[in-house]
Amino acid sequence: MSAQSSDTSQDNLQSALDALHEDVERLNMAPFWAVDTSTDHDEDRQVQDKKKAVPHVWRYKDEIEPLLYRSAELITTQSSERRSLILVNPGLAPRRASVSTMYTAYRLNDPNEIMPPHRHSPNAIRFGLTGTMNFTGVEGENITFGPGDMVLTPHDTWHNHGNQGDEPAINLSVLDLPLVETLNATYFEHDYTEEEEGERVRKQVQSERFPPDYSQRIYGQGGLQPRFVSHHRGTGNASPMYVYRWEMMRELLESFRDWDGDPYEALSIEYVDPTNGLPVFKTITFFAQMLRPGEKTRPMKQNASLLCAPIEGSGHSIVDGTRIDWEPFDTFAVPGGAWTEHINGSDSAPAVLFVASDEPTLKALSLFQKHGRTEAGDIVRLA
């Protein structure tokens, strides 16, 4: 066959392929083949989702805090029941997601303001940053909390937020809303009612059905569980302990300060359901991670996505080759699949991170993997 005939045959093939691909796209289908790996004709790659979470840090002092105070001046509880700043990952924008399955939001509550009750399908937590009288009422348990305290608002539980103190209070929240949105399972309800004299009556505040320290009294003694109360709260699909106090977590971290810890995760302590030892939610888990003075973790890669909020100390992390410097109340994103290592920049003070991970979701689907790199540079499978 002559060179000219070969060129003509190739042109005819390419024209036929172009026509085929046009028809496939017109009929809302996607080709699962690659003709070649050039930009124009790698059809597999062309139909892949190009939006991926990227390593990113949101800075509290210079970026988040000023916007919170500006929003508090302009957005009142009369104009909106919500006044939160959602951290949007640049790789996923404009989607409301800090990593692919979770988002972090910051909220400032003015003194003595309480929002009406609502409930929703996503799981959520509140983590205190400033102020000692942050307020969240969950299913009749009125909880006030301060810096480092974590409060659960599980899937489908009625709850309301606010501030019972005389000074502004700031907290951050973590929700699995991006995951729930992907599963087309999102809903929010605001029509809270209670039964009074046989009738349903709309309420702006939940009636208190439990003492404010219920969670601590029933679940605050590890290994000891009262048998005279029901542990089925809300839908029964999350931890029945609704508040985890920072004082207890910090004391426990300190008690292990002289232990070897884990070379890849330093000293990490997970928040768990006290009735079964499992993560507090079926979709997200949370833990506190202490880096001792000068401590550096070995590089680790996992397909779980992480949101990390430094609570104490300062340092930096290397996430997929990107250096992220951090200090208290920042949040930084570690996308799934990113090689990551954390470094405490101080030779005298510890650094503590509050971390959210979608590890339980991956484990439930038997998809979780974790790898580490040894000092010799070898890659080993950790999970």
Helices (H), the chain: 3-26, 43-46, 65-74, 177-182, 214-219, 246-255, 359-364
128-134 mean pLDDT: 97
pLDDT of 276-304, one tens digit each?
Answer: 999 999 999 999 999 999 999 999 999 99
155-178 mean pLDDT: 96
Long-range CB contacts (< 8 A, 24+ apart) of 275-280?
275/219, 275/225, 275/231, 275/239, 275/240, 278/360, 279/359, 279/360, 280/125, 280/152, 280/238, 280/239, 280/241
DSSP 99: S
To which H or E segment does residue 275 belong? none
Model-level pTM?
Answer: 0.92
Q: What is the pLDDT of residue 18?
A: 87
Q: What is the pLDDT of residue 14?
A: 84
Q: What is the pLDDT of residue 39?
A: 61
Q: What is the pLDDT of residue 69?
A: 94
199-211 mean pLDDT: 91
Q: Is the pLDDT of residue 1 over 60?
A: no
Instruction: Please state the domain extents for the chain.
Output: 56-381
How many Å separate Cα 83 from the centre of its chain? Answer: 19
340-367 mean pLDDT: 97
Contact call for residues 331 and 87 (beta carbons, < 8 A): yes
In 10 A of CB 366, how many CB atoms?
6
Angle (CA) 194-128-78 rounded to 5° is 50
Helix H, strand E, coil C: the string for 11-57 is HHHHHHHHHHHHHHHHCCCCCCCCCCCCCCCCHHHHCCCCCCCCCEE
Q: Is the pLDDT of residue 11 over 90?
A: no
245-274 mean pLDDT: 97
Q: Which fold has domain 56-381?
A: Jelly Rolls (2.60.120)
111-137 mean pLDDT: 95
**Between 41 and 119, residue with greater pLDDT:** 119
pLDDT of 315-332, one tens digit each?
Answer: 999 999 999 999 999 999
